Structure 1
Amino acid sequence: MTAPDTFSEFVASRYPALVRTARLLVADAHAAEDLVQETLARCVPAWSRIEGNPEAYVRTVMVRQNISRWRRRRVGETTVAVVPDVAVRDGDVAEQDELRRALAALPARQRAVVVLRYVEDRPEREVADVLGCSLGTVKSQAHAGLAKLRTFLAEHEVDASPEPAASLFP
């Protein structure tokens, strides 16, 4: 993929993918859109200085912004979870809902690692760079996150095989 010439071109071409990743990180459609908007707003001033792959930079900012949101919420901010009406293209709605609930049940760092590593199919090194941690941390968080997902999905009798997961997130 060639790098977009302008910020507007980047947003036009990558916005749906960014929202999909954010949706998996925060487990709420409205909060995901807010996260992407906050991330893009933070990237605008630095856009002319970004070298190489701008998407990696934006995803790094998004993950770090999500961690900051999580820390603020932990201090005293509360949210109300409302199940949004979402159009589903492929896959079983119940499976999709269970997998999203399972992801939402993971701690923030494990969820970020699982989403970036397995849903976004990013290499371990890139995930470590995005999260600002070591390769070993990515591996241990992925292992712990997958173990919790398997347990959650087994308790709820959902197929935990890795191949349909990508199709569950249009």
Structure 2
Amino acid sequence: MDPNDSFREFMAAHQQSLMRTAYLLTGDAHLAEDLLQSVLLKVLSRWPKLADVASPQAYARKALINQYISWRRRLARATELPRAEPPDRPYSTEDSTVVRIAMLRALAQLPPRQRAVIVLRYYEDLTEHETAKLLRCSLGTVKSHAHHVLARLRVLAPELAPKFAETEDLKGARR
């Protein structure tokens, strides 16, 4: 089998998942596409070696997170990030679009590493151990980041606080 064929199969199976992770990390569809494209070029260049790896998806996800953190560090040194102001009109937290926008705005205010922990734990549904392994940090660091970030998100987006309580209850049972 041609290595390019196996890479195409890998992409067909995992591209949507990786794109979702990239979008949740960046909060912007275009940046997510750029991030994913740069990571996939790196993965493709290492593909012959990765074909024997147990989980090329984990490798690609790790590369995605590392590239995102690297981009954010460079961007933070170079420029300020513009922030949209919240709408002037009152809104219902039951509206899923409004909830999604509020969550993305709150996530955008988190440091890259903490945002990565939240995305991996609550959007990618990884365990604390899997998240710690992927981020190459201790289990305690993952737990601490998750706890502190959820508390910070309650302050940044108080209208979403009930959702964060549900999330902690569900994850607490899954540890």
Same fold (TM over 0.5): yes
1:59 correspondence with 2:65: no
CA deviations 1:2-42 (Å, max 9, x no partner) are xxx71111112211111111111111111111111111111
Moved >4 Å (runs of 4+): 77-82
| Cross-structure match for 2:88 | none
Contact 1:110 1:141 in 2 (8 A): yes
Deviation at 1:95, TM superposition (A): 0.9
Whichever structure has more helix as a proportion of its residues is 2
CA distance in 1, matches of 2:109, 2:80: 16
CA distance in 2, matches of 1:79, 1:9: 37
SS of 1:14's equivalent in the other structure is: helix
C-alpha RMSD of the superposition: 2.0
Structure 2 portions without partners, runs of 5+: 85-94, 168-175
Question: 1 or 2 for the larger relative contact order (CA 8 Å, sep ≥6)?
Answer: 1
Structure 1 portions without partners, runs of 5+: 83-90, 165-170
* Larger Rg over CA atoms: 2
CA deviations 1:74-103 (Å, max 9, x no partner) are 221456678xxxxxxxx6211110011111
CA deviations 1:103-153 (Å, max 9, x no partner) are 111111111000001111011122112212111111111111111112222
SS of 2:163's equivalent in the other structure is: coil
Q: Structure 1 length normalisation: TM-score?
A: 0.80
CA distance in 1, matches of 2:83, 2:34: 15
